[in-house]
Amino acid sequence: MTDPTTLQQEIAAEQQHLDRVYARLAELRQSAAVAEKEGYQLARVGNFGALVERDAMVFHAARRRHVLDAEHEGLVFGRLDLRDSSVLHIGRLGVRGERAEPLVIDWRAPAAAAFYQATATQPRGVVRRRMISSTGERVTRIEDDLLDPAGAPPGMKVVGDGALLATLARATGRGMRDIVATIQREQDEAIRSPASGVTIVSGGPGTGKTAVALHRAAYLLYSDRNRFVGGGVLVVGPSSVFVDYISSVLPSLGEDAATLHSLGTLFPGVTATRSDPAAIAAVKGSLRMRRVLERAVRDAVPDGPGELRLLYRGELLRLGRAELDGIRARALPRGARRNEVRRAGIDGLFGALWSQAQRLRIGRLPDQRTFEDELAERQEFRDFLRAWWPRLHPRHVLHWLARPTRLRRYAAGILTPAEIAMLAESYTAPATGGLSFADVAILDELDELLGRPPQPPRRRRDPFHVAGGVRELSTAAERQRAARQAATERPADYRDYAHVVVDESQDVSPMQWRMLGRRGRIASWTVVGDPAQTAWTGDPAELHRARDRALGRRARHSFTLSTNYRNSAEIFAAAAAVIREIDPDLVLPTAVRSTGVAPVELSAPAAELPAVVRDAVARLLTEVDGTVGVITPVPRRDEVAGWLAGLPDPDRHQVVNALQAKGMEYDGVLLVAPGEIRADSEAGVRTLYVALSRATQRLTTVDVR
């Protein structure tokens, strides 16, 4: 137990340093504001050199001011006392004093690595490591680890016991918090792994996989900003609920250059929010689906013209369905993209019509070029072309699958009759609720198969303002800045990312891996997941092949996280008992925190379930200070949300289905009808395992009896 006087003295010493840091921060913020103001004033000078200087000053000053404002809260969170008697304070960004002395070391800098990697067995020159907690600009708590007692100078004080566990027990808000102050060694090694190749992070629930992935993205953006800001960082999660949950982490770390997507929003203009039943998702996600789509994109347009009839100089030119199908087939050899070879189809029509005109010995027949020009000017011919070979969007072909006769023809010999029936029901049911996550990957595959119509070259906008024939920006630095700005203005379907982060990777289907691979062709990767939590019920070998193809032959760096920081030992024991039913030998993480509070198991008749659920949520809201997650079977999500309408503290509870719960974390969890989740599919037990491991402090289950 630390002496209160010693504790207050040590807090006061840290407060003195923090006061100096914030005073310096105020000076830097003021300097940035003055530089920004002076930059605008240069606009009145009236010469081009001044305009160049103005833009440079305003841009850099505004960016610096934004960074300083964003990192105000919790700026300094650590201290290292080293064997050489030097002291380093670690924080969210680097701050230097008036004489350029380091007041705060950025957590991503090499000098800060020892804060996360030093241990009692390998202290790395660190004598004492201190965690500093603060609220606003006031130090509220400190916790020390004495890593090298032999190196401690006389009189060194060591206070506190358990900064990490205290932080883990803290209530959470609606969004994910960063772990920058409490990163552990096994996590830090993954965060700082080589920027090139593929970093694979695996681990059970609560081991911090998502946090590691996001902090790694921030670390890469810091360590090689030109590469990763210029090329872009893509972070992909399993659902929109999850993406909203993590959206504040990177900005809190001073980075806003990453692009966040769920698997349901990767295709431009589409937002999918629903999951297919596991059996249907396995069919749609299988690589066999690509063969079905290849047949579809080569087929005739539904309800398209079955013949072409043109009266030319008194003679009827006619092409029937068989001839039209032959022309289309010749213009679309295997591997050709339909939208890109439309010209070949038109040429095939012209060739067939010309041959027919020659056979009919039409009088005054012009040369072939004139003949084609005359046909091309006729409105009925142009109308035929638009109907026979339209420019297709992937959605068009996806709708073709809703026609049972077409679907059976496309899938014959590829899918089983039962799979065809399931797929047909999925696309023809009146209340499917729009596109599913699996459909987005199908759209992306169709986009690849169809290709894009050739576009006329567009004149690129000059990034430099032109006044009186003279470019305003003329320095090399400004040209580089303008080029970087243009590079970050990416199209909706951008596919040249420098780094791709894939979270909950165990649920990514083979077709989804193909979709991700197109966006990471030149990228390095961070892939995090837990095979024990997978909801994929398709062919595992096919899944591994698709993943390996997407990741390519890049070097692999693998890390396994073994400590569960999220769940109390009591809660994780309940989750572990479920997953061991199907995999008794599975190596699970160790929960390091005990609360002494066991999960609560309730049951109720179906008619009483709404009232019991409502009462249980109300009770959890009084037992925890943070958020309560209500996790339901997939079909029940909206029904349960209706039961909770009007409940106090609506901002503190969230209703999600068992699949949306992946990656989420709540202080309290109410799990509704776990028996239904278990029985939902082949992956039901694994999905239940996920749902049971979302709570940090309290877990209640309500089953139907």
Query: Confidence class of residue 363 from pLDDT cuts 50, 70 and 90?
Result: confident
Query: Confidence class of residue 52 from pLDDT cuts 50, 70 and 90?
Result: very low
DSSP labels, 41-98: HGGGT-SHHHHHHHHHHHHHHHHHHHHHHHT-TT-EEEEEEETTS-EEEEESS-EE-T
User: How far, in Å, CA of 571 to CA of 448, rounded?
Assistant: 45
Token couple for 49: 């050199």
600-604 and 695-704 as β-strands: parallel, antiparallel, unpaired? parallel
For the segment 444-451, the average pLDDT, to the nearest whole number, is 96
293 in the same domain as 435 = yes
Question: Are residues 68 and 29 in contact, defined by beta-carbon separation less than 8 angstroms?
Answer: yes
Phi/psi for 219 (5° steps) reads -65, -45
User: How far, in Å, CA of 434 to CA of 421, rounded?
Assistant: 19
Question: Are residues 134 and 76 in contact, defined by beta-carbon separation less than 8 angstroms?
Answer: yes
Query: Confidence class of residue 1 from pLDDT cuts 50, 70 and 90?
Result: low
Q: Is residue 487 situated within a structural domain?
A: no
For the segment 628-655, the average pLDDT, to the nearest whole number, is 93
430 in the same domain as 386 = no
- The candidate with the shortest Cα–Cα distance to 388, out of 495, 302, 472, is 302
664 in the same domain as 519 = no
Helices (H), 247-378: 249-252, 278-285, 288-297, 321-331, 342-359, 368-376
Number of domains in the chain: 5
Q: Which of 242-251, 285-294, 346-355, 388-397 has the lowest mean pLDDT?
A: 242-251
Question: Are residues 588 and 569 in contact, defined by beta-carbon separation less than 8 angstroms?
Answer: no
* pLDDT at residue 455, as a whole number: 63
- The candidate with the shortest Cα–Cα distance to 657, out of 671, 642, 645, is 671
Q: Which of 1-15, 158-172, 272-286, 317-331 has the lowest mean pLDDT?
A: 158-172
Q: Is residue 359 situated within a structural domain?
A: yes
378 in the same domain as 251 = no
Q: Is residue 484 situated within a structural domain?
A: no
For the segment 87-94, the average pLDDT, to the nearest whole number, is 92
Query: Confidence class of residue 180 from pLDDT cuts 50, 70 and 90?
Result: confident
Q: Is residue 485 situated within a structural domain?
A: no
Half-sphere exposure of 86 (CA within 13 A, CB side): 8
* pLDDT at residue 615, as a whole number: 96
* pLDDT at residue 178, as a whole number: 65
Q: Which residues sit opposite 142 in a β-bridge?
A: 132
218 in the same domain as 101 = no
Q: Is residue 151 situated within a structural domain?
A: yes
* pLDDT at residue 474, as a whole number: 46
Higher pLDDT: 289 or 3? It is 289
Query: Which residue type does 356 have?
Result: Q
* pLDDT at residue 253, as a whole number: 79
Half-sphere exposure of 75 (CA within 13 A, CB side): 27
**452 has pLDDT over 70:** yes
**What CA–CA distances, in Å, run from 651 to 241, 599, 665?**
15, 24, 15
Query: Confidence class of residue 466 from pLDDT cuts 50, 70 and 90?
Result: very low
User: How far, in Å, CA of 19 to CA of 75, rounded?
Assistant: 11
* pLDDT at residue 33, as a whole number: 67
Q: Which of 361-365, 518-522, 584-588, 677-681 has the lowest mean pLDDT?
A: 677-681
Apex 426 CA angle, 421 and 430, nearest 5? 120
Residue 403 per-residue DSSP state:
S
User: How far, in Å, CA of 407 to CA of 417, rounded?
Assistant: 11
Question: Are residues 40 and 58 in contact, defined by beta-carbon separation less than 8 angstroms?
Answer: yes
Per-residue pLDDT reduced to its tens digit, 488-511: 568 888 999 999 999 999 999 999
Question: Are residues 693 and 572 in contact, defined by beta-carbon separation less than 8 angstroms?
Answer: yes
148 in the same domain as 17 = yes
Question: Are residues 495 and 518 in contact, defined by beta-carbon separation less than 8 angstroms?
Answer: yes
290 in the same domain as 313 = no
Question: Are residues 501 and 235 in contact, defined by beta-carbon separation less than 8 angstroms?
Answer: yes
- The candidate with the shortest Cα–Cα distance to 328, out of 311, 348, 314, is 348
Domain that holds residue 582: 566-704
We report the CATH number of the domain holding residue 519 as: 3.40.50.300
* pLDDT at residue 256, as a whole number: 81
Using CB atoms within 10 A of its CB, is residue 582 exposed (0-12), middle (13-18) or buried (19+)? middle
422 in the same domain as 550 = no
**473 has pLDDT over 50:** no
DSSP labels, 410-449: HHTTTS-HHHHHHHHHHHH-TT--S-BHHHHHHHHHHHHH
**57 has pLDDT over 50:** no
The percentage of the chain sitting over the pLDDT mark of 90, rounded to a whole number, equals 68
Q: Which of 411-415, 463-467, 509-513 has the lowest mean pLDDT?
A: 463-467
Q: Is residue 127 situated within a structural domain?
A: yes
User: How far, in Å, CA of 393 to CA of 447, rounded?
Assistant: 7
Higher pLDDT: 7 or 416? It is 416
Q: Is residue 144 situated within a structural domain?
A: yes
590-593 and 666-672 as β-strands: parallel, antiparallel, unpaired? unpaired
For the segment 104-115, the average pLDDT, to the nearest whole number, is 93
Q: Is residue 481 situated within a structural domain?
A: no
Q: Which of 161, 193, 224 is the last residue of a domain?
A: 161
Question: Are residues 472 and 312 in contact, defined by beta-carbon separation less than 8 angstroms?
Answer: no
Query: Confidence class of residue 214 from pLDDT cuts 50, 70 and 90?
Result: very high
654 in the same domain as 641 = yes
- The candidate with the shortest Cα–Cα distance to 167, out of 153, 155, 154, 183, is 183
* pLDDT at residue 247, as a whole number: 87
Per-residue pLDDT reduced to its tens digit, 567-614: 999 999 999 999 999 999 999 999 988 999 999 999 999 999 999 999
Token couple for 278: 């596991």
Using CB atoms within 10 A of its CB, is residue 705 exposed (0-12), middle (13-18) or buried (19+)? exposed
> Strand order of the sheet with strand 126-135?
95-96, 102-106, 87-91, 76-82, 126-135, 138-146
Q: Which of 514, 542, 561 is the last residue of a domain?
A: 561
Average model confidence (pLDDT) across the chain: 87
* pLDDT at residue 451, as a whole number: 94
515 in the same domain as 385 = no
Per-residue pLDDT reduced to its tens digit, 4-21: 788 899 999 999 999 999
536 in the same domain as 441 = no
Question: Are residues 189 and 517 in contact, defined by beta-carbon separation less than 8 angstroms?
Answer: no
692 in the same domain as 596 = yes
**470 has pLDDT over 90:** no
